Amino acid sequence: MHTKRIFDRVAIAFIAIIVVTGFGTLGYIWIEGWSVLEALYMTVITLSTVGFGEIHHLSPTGRLFTVFLITIGFGVAGYFAGTFASFIVEGELKMVLRGQQMDRLIAKLNHHIIVCGYGRTGGEAVEELLRVRVDFVVIEQDAEKMEHLPESIPRIIGNATEDKVLVHAGIERAKGLITTLHNDADNVFVTLTARGLNPDLKIVSRAAEESSEPKLIRAGADKVILPASIGGRRMASVLLRPDVVDFLDVIMHGEDIALRIEQVTIPADSTMIGKSIIECRIREQTGAMIIGIRPHGERVQISPPVMRPLKPLDTLIVLGQEDTIDRLKQLVAVNGIPIIF
């Protein structure tokens, strides 16, 4: 990663200084027959150009060696000065400090989402995660793409197919992963690696080819999204059901009307367990409307009957404004913690 390359350059500069100092010390010992301390002292004052005189009279060979040593010393000093200047002038020092700050921020994340790839699809995913205020970290190999990412968002410049990069992103603590890499093979590899590092992870993957979908499922993806397929269906829907599409756009992406479709899972120890929907008076107490229920491990039930009793780990699919959904989360959390994905 970029920060590592910077530290490598600094390390090379320091190693070069040590090597040249050792070379000069050995040279004076061999040519002039001086002690280690005398040779080291002469090497240091020569390289530092402090202007002290010779501690002993130098032979012609020793003087030629000194000229050669000074020449090497200027080269090393130039490299060291260039490295230091790039820290200041090119802002690399700021990048190092920023990278360290990002590392600390990522280390604090828990139950977050990892987005692999910040292209067009990954960018749309990031926008949605920002809208619903979910903690997440972005992994992208192209540093230039990351320049368009808001500075406050945790990011890692690296290859998402590498184990160490996913571990750096907190894969063991994450609740979900979105992989939107352009190459389906890379998405399969990321999915396979992520599933091995966190068996409980929810994984959603992009696929360019329909033939890649079963491979991604076998690799461990919970859901595979085919942008071409979704785009084609949407184009047909715009012609066949334009008002429905507009309504869904308002709910899912509208900025003027703060309606949202959200899911809230009922904890096993909630006081709502065993009560019917009408008995819970969810609409009256929160303003949110239940449009579906997904029993644990089963398919979604659309427009459930109001007399249906609520069960542990039922997932409510609700429609409402942000504040009404927040009130619902508080309501189901009585004697329990709301489970929200």
- Strand locations in the chain (E): 113-116, 136-140, 155-157, 176-179, 202-206, 223-225, 259-265, 289-294, 301-302, 315-321
Q: What is the DSSP letter of 276?
A: B
Which CATH class, in words, describes the domain spanning 109-225?
A: alpha beta
Q: What's the token pair of residue 314?
A: 């039922």
Which residue spans of the chain are classified as CATH 1.10.287.70?
2-90
**Predicted confidence (pLDDT) at residue 3 exceeds the cutoff of 60:** no
- Per the CB < 8 A criterion, the answer to whether 184 and 207 are in contact is yes
Q: Which of 127, 99, 103, 97 is nearest to 115 (CA)?
A: 127
Higher-confidence residue of 63 and 203: namely 203
Question: How many of the other CB atoms lie within 10 Å of CB of 244?
Answer: 11
Query: Measured between alpha carbons, how far is residue 105 from residues 2, 94, 151 in Å?
Result: 18, 16, 12
Which residue spans of the chain are classified as CATH 3.40.50.720?
109-225
Burial category of 117 from C-beta neighbours within 10 Å (exposed 0-12, middle 13-18, buried 19 and up): buried
How far apart are alpha carbons 134 and 126 in whole angstroms?
10
**Predicted confidence (pLDDT) at residue 24 exceeds the cutoff of 80:** yes
Lowest-confidence range among 1-10, 49-58, 68-77, 177-186?
1-10
**Predicted confidence (pLDDT) at residue 122 exceeds the cutoff of 60:** yes
Which residue spans of the chain are classified as CATH 3.30.70.1450?
258-341
- Per the CB < 8 A criterion, the answer to whether 320 and 287 are in contact is yes
Which of the following CATH numbers is that of domain 2-90: 1.10.260.40, 3.30.70.1060, 1.10.287.70, 1.10.10.10? 1.10.287.70
Residues 6+ apart with CB under 8 A from 207: 184, 187, 213, 216, 224, 225, 226
Residues 6+ apart with CB under 8 A from 62: 28, 31, 32
* DSSP-derived 3-state class of residue 115: strand
Q: What global pTM score does this model have?
A: 0.63
Residues 6+ apart with CB under 8 A from 27: 39, 43, 65, 69
Question: How many of the other CB atoms lie within 10 Å of CB of 178?
Answer: 24
Burial category of 41 from C-beta neighbours within 10 Å (exposed 0-12, middle 13-18, buried 19 and up): middle
Which of the following CATH numbers is that of domain 258-341: 3.30.70.1450, 1.10.3720.10, 1.10.357.10, 3.40.50.620? 3.30.70.1450
How far apart are alpha carbons 98 and 96 in whole angstroms?
5
* DSSP-derived 3-state class of residue 140: strand
**Predicted confidence (pLDDT) at residue 206 exceeds the cutoff of 80:** yes
Residues written for the chain: 341
How high is the pLDDT of residue 62?
Answer: 82
How far apart are alpha carbons 315 and 285 in whole angstroms?
18
- Binned at pLDDT 50, 70 and 90, residue 338 comes out as very low
Q: What is the pLDDT of residues 220-261, one digit of tens each?
A: 999 999 988 888 888 998 899 888 888 777 776 665 566 788
What DSSP element (H or E) covers 170?
Answer: none
- Binned at pLDDT 50, 70 and 90, residue 336 comes out as very low
